[in-house]
Chains A and B, each alone.
Chain A
């Protein structure tokens, strides 16, 4: 030890100072390198790193805007929303998703292959964009997601409002449905607003008024940790809810129309020909839009699109069929305006020979003028008229009245129909028109094809002295002027216009149509006669191609049955078209129209006479306001009936319970996922104490009638009514008191 120490403890020996200095400078150099590195990151690159740090910790969670609700013309709820939870997959986690898929599929009850396919579809999308993997998940599935937060941090749930549609396909074609935006739509600049996975209106008003209904999604900045767990919230951009829309539809009339059409395939439309407001629009068979509110299953979808009766087709605006004898009204207009028909007398011997062929008529009508030809629907008369007019004259008048042209109704996918002419035939078939072909056109057969809405607009327009309207489901005051303009551009058509008619043309045709429903020999709709209502119309029994005179109701070769009816006969306030595909005789359709007209008239009478909520009671106005009628947008004149009618329908509901009152009323038409939706609120509102009611004292306008079935206005407020009143003064006996046929 001692020796060691001597050897080691040589105090003269020191480490060379140069080496230590070298070490010092070496360390200084290295330190400077580190400082330079810090400078680069923290001073020069700070901003970009801060952005990355924000991206790390902030996750944008969308807040989905609830779509606007739909109400009927009286503010009764038609389409509601219900709260729902959807599951999304977020890929930004750095968490390998693929291996989790089997667990996710099991927990959420999804098909694994379908889940993989969904993910594949989003492969090209931005990584931050959540992938919707299941909508409207059950509480059990929510619990699954919550319980697997750590293993499956990529699963994210989002609260959203989901559509609740009336059940049993009530008004389904008008309302339409919503669904996920398709890839085709995303490529369309009109849908630039949308991103994959967004919900968009895919049919009906949901589609045509999508921009109004959809609102603006918001977003929430959620602060997350590295496991994706929420640790706080940074900011919120609230969603702007979509605007509610009041349709022109009247639930009462719609219900009557639904019931009238029943199981038959076809369509019924009820319209106010004074304004073009659609009161009811039914197309059967229908479908359940609720099936689309959550993503529709493949099997269900296939069943819908392969159904030979085309449940997804809105037959009211898309069915293009021969109008049959209803076309005789167009013929009459042409004939009378040309000065031919008024003095034309034809002897019907069960048909007639034209251009070397014998054309049948249903009966031996004998000698008749236009006054008999319309109610008796004599084919021979109109064969003769057609041959005298020629196809191009007929086509000119038909076009004037909107046959073969879209009406411009505010619904997607309206069809135009066909009105043949020489020009049309040359253009489409490169053939000349054979004069003999005009004969079948004269009775609405041949190449003529119309949609129910077209026919309704044309015939009710004639009955309104040539005042043709643009049928619509939403009044312009419900939307912005810009939107209305865009809407008209998107759904072009013949629109609203006045066709000048000679007074005797108008009188002759309307009287002829009124005769149709009056008892009388060969009158085609006498079975649909309505005592006490001035009910006019025209039947149509349109043979189908190859069908001939087959009368096997519902069979594929059976004629399509038409009826266009209106009340009162001149300047009607309601017009109804009924189409029964293969429904055989138009006389049967007339009875369905009569049911709808009756429902309408009864309602107007009820409104005019029943107890209503006191207008003086301030609380009484609340239900109306609460039901979506916007204050300041009060409708005046006879349209005020709508408001009063709403009150009249449920006088026993207190002001405060206005909404729930609706629920009670609407429970009948609503579908609802079990135990969900406003329907379940219903019973709570029942049995509310009635509020003060008084007799309705305002003018409005009541329907009264005299023995000859004339409609009597008690007081009139609008220009149309003034016209009506003036007209009625010539032909009708005013009746004092309130119509008593209840």
Chain B
């Protein structure tokens, strides 16, 4: 079985589009950090991308069915690491999200995403994508909900939210009936409203961040500050942009974290509507290519794996760009492939490795 594999079936066009985004990422990080204390991060990003590519090729070689077999074990390890981060994690800006292993800061919550994708694919593939019983549904919710709860209380609401689309994609593709879905949505809305108004689980600063996007001008110096600066950056980019390294919002340090969460704002300021549109087009093409891969997958578990990746990437792109242009609250969700960050880059490439894995085995029995 392994012999039949070759990189001939590797998805080179997909990789090409991904690498274009990576190049844009490196240039924009360079531009956005040249006058900040983050100067030189574009070099680091190149290392992360290099490392990510290696991981992607490595993961592509390992049969994804083997990954599926390890799903529960990996899930267990994830839960342990999330508990561990609460006990021994490094506190950064009031949240315990990182585990330090030697020189590497390790953020377990990122890897949980990948494991959950595999776990959900495994879980729903085993159920055969037929009618789901309520028991199946609650089990799935429990499997995703447990790590979500651990991450939310780190607290890292943004990352926790990225687990949610995995569950939704799994349920949707796994065969939930629309009546069940309706009921779940109703219950979810009631619960969210309940949690929101109880004020215990979600901290006030998180609440403020989540609502300020609705009216950023109400408190332009406070919670709305980041969003307002982001809107000014994107808006002042105009059609053609102010030019690389010439964005006043980016260069003047007005844009918060312009190399990570707000890199799309920096890019939009410097390259305008045209640049931003092309990036969106690239993302759209990548996502369509992924869905095509899901269609051509050899089996249902492969399809579910790829669609899990699609769900997470789509969610992150929508939430991040939506945040940058004022449609979404400010959550600390990075933009895949563009934002600076080791964990984020690694996750994206590993996820792509899974997709490649599935694609390479599409003709394999």
A: which residues have CB within 8 A of B? 1, 4-5, 7-11, 13-15, 17, 19-20, 23-24, 27-28, 30-31, 33-35, 37-39, 41-43, 45-46, 48-50, 52-54, 56-57, 94, 223-227, 231
Bound-state CA distance A572–B295 (Å) is: 116
B253 touches A226 (CB 8 A): yes
Q: Which of B48-56, B76-84, B90-98, B122-130 lies at the interface with chain A?
A: B122-130
The listed residue (B172, B248, B277) touching A53 by CB distance below 8 A is: B248
The listed residue (B35, B236, B280, B299) touching A50 by CB distance below 8 A is: B236
Name the distance in Å between B71's Cβ and chain A's nearest Cβ.
11
B243 within 8 A of A: no
Name the distance in Å between A39's Cβ and chain B's nearest Cβ.
7
Bound-state CA distance A56–B220 (Å) is: 12
Query: Known pairs A27-B291, A41-B326, A50-B238. 9 more at Cβ < 8 A?
Result: A15-B303, A31-B284, A34-B318, A38-B268, A43-B239, A46-B238, A226-B252, A226-B254, A231-B252
Q: Which residues of B contact A8 (CB under 8 A)?
A: 65, 68, 125-126, 299-301
A37 touches B248 (CB 8 A): no
Q: Which residues of B contact A223 (CB under 8 A)?
A: 248, 252
Name the distance in Å between A60's Cβ and chain B's nearest Cβ.
16
Name the distance in Å between B173's Cβ and chain A's nearest Cβ.
6
Q: Which of B10-18, B139-147, B180-188, B227-235 lies at the interface with chain A?
A: B227-235
Interface membership of chain B positions 268-309, coded 1 if the CB is closer than 8 angstroms to chain A and 0 otherwise: 100011001100100110011001001100111101100100
The listed residue (B254, B322, B325) touching A41 by CB distance below 8 A is: B325
Name the distance in Å between A242's Cβ and chain B's nearest Cβ.
36
B69 within 8 A of A: yes
The listed residue (B125, B173, B237) touching A19 by CB distance below 8 A is: B173
Bound-state CA distance A386–B325 (Å) is: 93
The listed residue (A1, A15, A224) touching B173 by CB distance below 8 A is: A15
B221 touches A49 (CB 8 A): no
Query: In the complex, which residue of chain B has the Cβ closest to the Cβ of A14?
Result: B300
Bound-state CA distance A10–B299 (Å) is: 7
Instruction: Name the 7 nearest CB pairs between A and B, nearest first.
Output: A49-B235, A94-B221, A53-B236, A42-B273, A46-B238, A37-B325, A41-B235
Name the distance in Å between B199's Cβ and chain A's nearest Cβ.
26
The listed residue (B254, B276, B321) touching A56 by CB distance below 8 A is: B254
Bound-state CA distance A42–B172 (Å) is: 36
6 interchain pairs (CB within 8 A)? A8-B126, A37-B322, A53-B235, A53-B248, A226-B229, A226-B252
A11 touches B298 (CB 8 A): yes
Q: B221, B235, B277, B310: which has the most chain A beta carbons within 10 Å? A: B235
B300 touches A30 (CB 8 A): no
Name the distance in Å between B330's Cβ and chain A's nearest Cβ.
15
The listed residue (A13, A19, A54, A224) touching B299 by CB distance below 8 A is: A13
B299 touches A42 (CB 8 A): no
B365 within 8 A of A: yes
A57 touches B248 (CB 8 A): yes
Bound-state CA distance A494–B300 (Å) is: 109
Chain B interface mostly: helix
Bound-state CA distance A224–B253 (Å) is: 9
Query: In the complex, which residue of chain A has the Cβ closest to the Cβ of B327?
Result: A37
B223 within 8 A of A: no
Bound-state CA distance A49–B235 (Å) is: 5
Chain A interface mostly: helix
Would A38 and B254 be within 8 Å (CB), given that A50-B235, A52-B236 are in contact?
Answer: no
Bound-state CA distance A227–B65 (Å) is: 53
B268 touches A225 (CB 8 A): no
The listed residue (B173, B276, B283, B327) touching A42 by CB distance below 8 A is: B276
Q: Which residues of A contact B287 (CB under 8 A)?
A: 27
Bound-state CA distance A238–B327 (Å) is: 44
Bound-state CA distance A39–B225 (Å) is: 22
The listed residue (B234, B283, B288) touching A24 by CB distance below 8 A is: B288
B35 touches A225 (CB 8 A): yes
Name the distance in Å between B231's Cβ and chain A's nearest Cβ.
7
Bound-state CA distance A47–B189 (Å) is: 40
Q: Which residues of A contact B107 (CB under 8 A)?
A: none
B291 touches A20 (CB 8 A): yes
Query: In the complex, which residue of chain B has the Cβ closest to the Cβ of A94?
Result: B221
Q: B299, B314, B365: which has the most chain A beta carbons within 10 Å? A: B299
Name the distance in Å between B139's Cβ and chain A's nearest Cβ.
17
Q: Which residues of B contact A28 (CB under 8 A)?
A: 284
Q: Which residues of B contact A38 (CB under 8 A)?
A: 234, 268, 273, 276-277, 280, 325
Q: Which residues of B contact A226 (CB under 8 A)?
A: 229, 252-254
B314 touches A27 (CB 8 A): yes
Would A42 and B237 be within 8 Å (CB), given that A11-B298, A14-B300, A225-B252 are in contact?
Answer: yes
B225 touches A34 (CB 8 A): no
B236 touches A23 (CB 8 A): no
The listed residue (B239, B295, B321) touching A46 by CB distance below 8 A is: B239
B249 within 8 A of A: yes
A56 touches B307 (CB 8 A): no
Bound-state CA distance A7–B266 (Å) is: 49
Bound-state CA distance A42–B295 (Å) is: 36
Name the distance in Å between A208's Cβ and chain B's nearest Cβ.
46
Q: Which residues of A contact B307 (CB under 8 A)?
A: 15, 20, 23
